[in-house]
Amino acid sequence: MDKYLLDCLDKVLTEAFSPAGWRNHAAPELAALCAHGCALHELEAGQPFIQGGFPARTVWVLVRGAAQVICYNRKGSCSVQDAPEKTQMFGLMEQLSGYDSYTATVVSSRPSLMFSIPAPLMMDALEVSVPLLRLALQDLCILAERAMNRTEYQALHHPRDNLAIFLHHNCRDAREFPHTIRITRREMAEQLHIHLRSLYRYLDDLKMDGLCSVVHGHITITREQADLLAAYCQGL
């Protein structure tokens, strides 16, 4: 693989996954990558960028925004399996597992910026770049941890407590407060596998306990409430 192209991919993805987030400091490198099949995509809310069952030819990186990973059964019923709001790769698991097709559908749940990388380019880079391999491993570890946590929460905790844990995880890395939960209540209910009516009831309970607020229709968490949520969840 061309060393300059590899260095470009290293710099662009390292910036995307950095705590400060995407700042487009790697503009020349980005231009070089786009000349070799990579691309930036501005997506609207609800716009799919991966379709389950379609050929897995691209690795996608959520640079800014939020996404939902949706699985369907043969009858057309669907379930939201994940709803990341931080930088994450999609389509990498299929490449590493040798799957020819994507295993789930992924849509942008709010206006988002995505970076697409041709799968052969990404796999060639992982063969020779330790920094990129480390990023990929960290990304997959975070994905695995979220999946294990969901299984644990659903098996061990009451749905009300699962909602509190969800809110805690959503705000614990917030850069400023008050922190607003970006997804809708319906999306939250789907992700937590809770009936929507029950979600409203549990949310009212948490508000009465001072663990969250609703401001202009949006679930909002202050710094004090975030601390209370952390203490509450630590005791579960």
Assessment of whether the complete model's pTM goes beyond 0.85: no
Q: Which pLDDT belongs to residue 25?
A: 66
Q: Which pLDDT belongs to residue 44?
A: 95
Angle formed at CA 167 by CA 221 and CA 212, multiple of 5 degrees: 35
Beta bridge partners of 220: 180, 213
Q: Token pair for residue 50? A: 């991966």
Rounded-to-integer distance, Cα 102 and Cα 108, Å: 16
Q: Which residues contact 110 (CB under 8 A, 6 or more apart)?
A: 45, 65, 66, 182
Question: Which residue type does 62 have?
Answer: L
Residue-level pLDDT, tens digit, the chain, 236 residues? 789 999 999 999 999 998 877 777 678 899 999 999 999 999 998 899 999 999 999 999 999 998 989 888 777 777 778 878 889 999 999 999 999 999 999 999 889 999 999 999 999 999 999 999 999 999 999 888 888 877 777 788 899 999 999 999 889 878 889 999 988 898 888 778 888 999 999 999 999 999 999 999 999 999 999 999 999 999 88
Q: Token pair for residue 3? A: 């060393």
Q: Please report where in the chains the tokens 């061990």 appear, as a residue.
A: 156
> Any idea where the domains of the chain sit in the sequence?
3-153, 157-234
Rounded-to-integer distance, Cα 99 and Cα 81, Å: 19
Strand 48-50 relative to strand 105-118, pairing = antiparallel
Q: Token pair for residue 99? A: 């799957």
Smallest CA-to-CA distance from 101 within 48, 52, 68 is with 52
Phi and psi at residue 185, in whole multiples of 5°?
Answer: -65, -35
Rounded-to-integer distance, Cα 171 and Cα 212, Å: 11
CA 24 to centroid of chain Cα atoms: 20
Length of the chain: 236
Q: Which pLDDT belongs to residue 76?
A: 75
CATH top-level class for 157-234? mainly alpha
Does CATH number 3.40.630.30 belong to domain 3-153?
no
Q: Which pLDDT belongs to residue 170?
A: 87
